[in-house]
A and B are shown apart, each in its own frame.
Chain A
Amino acid sequence: MTNSFDAIVVGAGVVGASCAHYLVEAGLSVAVVDRGSVAAGTTGAGEGNILVSDKEPGPELDLALLSQRLWTELIDVIGPAIELEPKGGLAVGYEQHTFDHLRAFATEQAACGVVATPVTGADLLELEPNLNPEVAGGVFYPQDMQTQPMLAAAHLIARGVRMGRITLHTNANVVAIPRDARGAVTGVETTTQTLQAPLVVNAAGTWGGEIAALAGVNVPILPRRGFILVTEPLPVIVNRKVYSAEYVANVASDDAALQTAAVVEGTHSGTILIGASRERVGFDRTLDWTVVQRLAQQALQLFPRLAQASLLRTYGGFRPYCPDHLPVIGPDARVPGLMHACGHEGAGVGLSAATGFLIAQAAIGVSPLLSLAPFAAERFDAHHVAVVHA
């Protein structure tokens, strides 16, 4: 078995898998390396959101729109296996003033290509019959989709493996990123072997800062903890992803303290997932019942019928969080051959398709469809931020 590849992707989560997929489409041979197994990191704690609805106009929304189009193309490639559903999203404002803000926000988004339709009264209840009738109104985003993130990562990689273009190295912890005399990367060293490639893509998510450090550069990624509640399997109660307007504000917040806002959606198996919480508490995994209660209360405010549903389990994960709320994507100007694809802060699944696509374009020297300047890894060097290690 060869140890030489055109590209090495560090991280077998959904972003790494997407990078590997598009690199293969571009004709490269790829090794995917992960210290655990596929989706062992944050992807394993993801909900599967593919949203344009929660993003304000700017580089991230542009990325989301491109990603949404690419995910739509992936439906035919691997859709059914990964429970990819173009079910649409519904952002709701419980109070009238929240709904007014939501509508104004949607108007701004519409100018950038987001399809958004305000819905109230009977029309709203037709979209979501179990929604609390006291909700002032909502905005429907037909472009939002949902997938099963672990299956998505696994199948994107498996497809490449079947084609003979991807080699998967699990339980392989990267301990060094060697560089040659001109400072260009030559591959990675794991605890068991050395792999060679002129291109190394750092898709290590919440641990992207650690991988970057191995290559001698700073990429300040912090963990932002989130919990998800999982109910017993239920009949269909929620048709789409439904979330409260406060969700957008929370994502953009710099507050380290607990932020919660309701996000409720059904899954293929009938369980309902309830999020979303964000807090900066390092890598503490201990379940906080105050968070559980807040999430339950907020979900019940939107769907009172869920009061009878039982909580079966919870899971938590650490979203990779950059100080300016944008991911790190593209070639690192400081290290030839090193690219980053991490820091997607709760939007990793949704943005993975565009991320992988842009990485592949950069890898073969094609001018990227979107400017990568806002996502440059070097942008933090001017004001140094400490990197949190696990």
Chain B
Amino acid sequence: MSDQRDIIIIGAGAAGMNAAYVAAEPGLAVTVVDANPCPGGQYHRRGALEQRYRPSGCSDENRWARVEILSGQQVYAVNSMPDTGHVLVRMRGDERHPHEIGILRARALIVATGAMDRQLAIPGWQLPGVMAGGGAQSLIKGSGVLPGQRTLVTGTGPFLLAVAASIVQAGGEVAAVIEANAPAGLARHTRKMFPAAVAKTAEAARFAGILARHRVPYLTRRRVTRIAAGAVDTQGRACVSEATVQRIDSQWQPKPGTEQRFDVDCVTLGFGFTAQLDLLLQLGCAITDAPDGGLAVLVDERQATSRPSVFAAGETTGIGGVDLASVEGRVAGLHAAAELTGRAPATALVKSLHRQRRHLHGFATALALAFPVPTQWVNDQPGETIVCRCEEITLGDIRSARDDLGATDPRSIKLLTRAGMGWCQGRMCSFSVEGICGRQANVAAQAASASRPVSVPVPLGAIARDENVMRESAQ
């Protein structure tokens, strides 16, 4: 079968699937490539055997029949072909089939690779039973399994409510929600941009109602300062038994004497989200800093990046939630298709989508500003705190490199300590390392940290045998 497509969409979450549905309308060859067993991304994650994900308003099954969806395919690299302007998408099979590699070519690419929970190192965060808020959600939504018997949901941001609500609705227990910021901030920021009524989004209100019904305490201006593993699992291996929470100041420094202990067997952590920009960075797309302190790919009103024929939608353009991702996906789908067909999309439709996008984007910005994440407190924790989970590099190791060896930036820290060189290639620790360095708002340095020429590990044997590379070089 030919490897040529009109539009390839990477990511089958809300952004990607909305884009696919819209782009398939004029009869283009649209393919969605996604690493998970079935479409849905994070928000719409479901069991592999459950009903297929269809974004709301995208119900024409005849149209879906024309969209090729490749699940269990992980894109490890993309590059543009300078002469044709086409994009090469290199992918490998799932965890059972990592040696099966393939290549597809697209006349236009939409990158909708979403985001992952953003993490900061805390003593004991590496213990079994500690997981990302998104990890708890993926267990519940994807497998119908609770993350633990009694969970402490911690970090910052509206996502904590969603995680806690998921757990209690699945029949689990949430000891408390520990929010580092204060919700009053949200009202202050949104009032700047919208009528106060908008601050009460329907969903947040629904989650808050669920938690109230289950009598889950929502404790603000606090964070977890230590997690201990005094219990064992059925195999006799250590797992979480207790978390210590303290009140904090505006820089998240803990106030002595305010320790509160929770007996829990699961602690979730999440401090906002980090967009997954690997593939966009490989393509050399212009990157910008986002209001939440992270990075985002720069897109214009068509969701087009700075690279020809490359579009982006969803969290990659800035963390904004599922509704914004859906709208951006539609905009990207419309314009990518228009670029190929030469037929401009309907003006009224475009105007409506742009208006929705503006509204949702503004709210996302307000949320980011209402839940700020200072990071210098990471540096003041005990030296034994593990920062790089993969290579087990401690805060003390990093401080030595910074203070004794002149490693003044994250890249140097990485080269001298190995922090960020393990399997996850810095995804879990880079935000902490930036905080320990004293974060300079330097987009170039952050982008360098976030750059990964290989986005998912690929067996050398598969690369060596790959006939597609040979074909490409003959072009």
Contacts and interface: CB of A to CB of B under 8 A. Distances in A.
B308 to A, nearest CB: 15
Interface in B88-117: 90, 98
Interface in A146-179: 150-151, 154-155, 157-158, 161, 168, 170-171
Contacts of B284: 286
Contacts of B425: 312-313
A154 B411 contact: no
B184 interface: no
Nearest to B103: A289
Given A44-B415, A286-B284, A287-B77, A310 B464 contact: no
Contacts of A307: 459-461, 464
A37 interface: yes
A292 B473 CA distance: 12
Nearest to B424: A312
Interface stretch (B214-222, B266-274, B400-408, B428-436): B400-408
Interface string A9-44: 000100000000000000000000000111110001
B406 A154 contact: yes
Interface in B406-445: 406-409, 411-412, 415-416, 418, 421-423, 425
A296 B411 CA distance: 26
A232 B453 CA distance: 15
Contacts of A96: none
A390 to B, nearest CB: 15
A207 B470 CA distance: 34
A115 B73 CA distance: 51
A38 B77 CA distance: 30
B60 interface: no
Contact of A311 (B391, B458, B472): B458
A287 B453 contact: yes
A334 to B, nearest CB: 32
A290 B461 contact: no
A293 B463 contact: yes
B464 A151 contact: no
Contact of B469 (A168, A171, A293, A312): A293
B406 A311 contact: no
A313 B453 contact: yes
Tell which of A37, A269, A286, A287 has the most Cβ of chain B within 10 Å.
A37
Contacts of B391: 269
Interface string B39-56: 000000000000000000
B79 A231 contact: no
Contacts of A155: 405
B259 interface: no
A314 B416 contact: no
Tell which of A40, A150, A232 has the most Cβ of chain B within 10 Å.
A150
A40 B411 contact: yes
A307 to B, nearest CB: 3
A312 B404 contact: no
Contacts of A38: 405-407, 412, 416
Contact of B452 (A44, A170, A269, A313): A313
A4 B440 CA distance: 30
Interface residues of A, number: 45
Contacts of B289: none
Tell which of B405, B412, B422, B461 has the most Cβ of chain A within 10 Å.
B405
A6 to B, nearest CB: 20
A314 B79 contact: no
Contacts of B464: 293, 296-297, 300, 307
B416 A151 contact: yes
A309 interface: yes
A306 B463 CA distance: 11
A358 interface: no
B406 A157 contact: yes
B404 to A, nearest CB: 6
A308 interface: yes
A39 B460 contact: no
A232 B421 CA distance: 10
A289 B468 CA distance: 10
A232 B423 contact: yes
B406 A292 contact: no
Tell which of A168, A306, A309, A312 has the most Cβ of chain B within 10 Å.
A312
Contacts of B461: 300, 306-308
Given A40-B412, A154-B407, A312-B423, A286 B98 contact: no
Tell which of A286, A290, A313 has the most Cβ of chain B within 10 Å.
A313
Interface in A276-295: 286-287, 289-290, 292-293
A37 B463 contact: no
A311 B473 contact: no
Contacts of A310: 98, 457-460
Nearest to B415: A150
A304 to B, nearest CB: 9
Interface of B: 77, 79, 90, 98, 282, 284, 391, 401, 404-409, 411-412, 415-416, 418, 421-423, 425, 452-454, 457-461, 463-464, 466, 469-470, 472-473
Given A37-B407, A286-B79, A296-B464, 14 more contacts: A38-B406, A40-B411, A40-B412, A150-B415, A158-B404, A287-B77, A287-B79, A289-B77, A289-B472, A307-B464, A310-B458, A311-B459, A312-B457, A313-B453
List of 8 A-B pairs having minimum Cβ-Cβ separation, nearest first: A307-B461, A310-B457, A154-B405, A150-B415, A296-B464, A37-B412, A287-B453, A290-B473
30 contacts: A36-B409, A38-B412, A38-B416, A154-B405, A157-B405, A170-B406, A171-B408, A230-B421, A231-B460, A269-B421, A274-B460, A286-B284, A287-B77, A287-B453, A289-B77, A289-B79, A289-B90, A289-B472, A290-B469, A290-B473, A308-B461, A309-B459, A310-B460, A311-B457, A311-B459, A311-B463, A312-B454, A313-B421, A313-B454, A314-B453
